[in-house]
Amino acid sequence: MRPLRIGIQLPEVERDVRWPEYLAMARAADAAGFDSIWLGDHLLYRGDGRPERGPWEAWTLLAALAAATERVTLGPLVACAAFHPPGLIAKMAATVDEVSGGRFVLGLGAGWNETEFRAFGLPYDRRVSRFEEAFAIVRGLLAGERVTVAGAHWQADDAVLLPAPGRRTPLMIGSNGPRVLRATLPHVDAWNTWWDAYGNTAEGFAALDARVTDAAREAGRAPSEVERSACVLVVLDRSARERPASPQAPPLEGSPERIAAGLRELAEAGADEAILVVSPITERSIRALAEVVALV
């Protein structure tokens, strides 16, 4: 079993967070021993019974944090392939990787929140078909290829990334959909799942991980070639109510030793990486979790 890497998701829409706090939290994670920091890629939430809210633009924040940190890996959790032309996504990924000194991972997904698609004038139909074409362009460009794609939704005509990237940016797919997995598992370096997709338990993750193992084999990959990344809901203070849990996905909580033990159980179930989704997510929380990171 490989050592478990520990990442943390920075705030998205839990509250109104400004740049100085993002910077402080990212630097705290760098100092506390976390392996990675992640930002959600969304535009707007509304219509769920809560006030409408939205995060800052993820790619701009990632570039800024890449320049402001020294050690941690950074990435979107996950970038929506429908928000930008795919050639531009590849260009942005290569640029952030350059700024970070090779500490960037491109997490990609097809998107799900119809509200933000409609609000920002983005087509929501045929999302998986659009994703498949976008992924082919992004993957090819980041692999150093000259890419020509004449798709129904996206096109590229002898596209190439210049300046040439210093390395191939790692790819992570954030989806459990069979069709998306078929399109991406032949090529990606890692697969990620959100905490409520497996019930936030080691047993639930093991069952979902087995499905991904089967899908990797069907895609012609050795399962060990695709790393497994799991988001984990961690509650430090129930009164904060930043991330409501559900009976179907109980949070990981308790003493540092208990949280560390839960993460070790996740590693035994097959996870290579645990990305903590913390309530509340503050600089103080990140510094408090340094003890957990050291115990895993």
* Nearest-angstrom CA–CA distance, 182 and 131: 12
Query: pLDDT at residue 201 above 90?
Result: yes
Which tens digit of pLDDT belongs to each residue from 148-184?
999 999 999 999 999 999 999 999 999 999 999 999 9
DSSP string, 46-114: -SSSS--B-PPPHHHHHHHHHHH-SS-EEEESSEETTSS-HHHHHHHHHHHHHHHTS-B-EEEE----H
Predicted confidence (pLDDT) at residue 48 exceeds the cutoff of 90: no
Per-residue confidence band for 1, with pLDDT thresholds at 50, 70 and 90: low
**pLDDT score recorded for residue 247:** 80
Residue scoring higher pLDDT (1 or 179) = 179
Residue 135 has pLDDT above 70, yes or no: yes
pLDDT for res 117: 98
Judge if the upstream peptide bond of residue 11 is cis by omega within 30 degrees of 0: no
What does the pLDDT look like over 203-229, one tens digit per residue?
A: 999 999 999 999 999 999 999 999 999
Instruction: Using the predicted structure, report yes or no on whether residue 241 has a pLDDT greater than 80.
Output: no
Average pLDDT over every residue of 71-86: 98
Distance, first Cα to last Cα, the chain: 13
Query: pTM to 2 decimals?
Result: 0.97
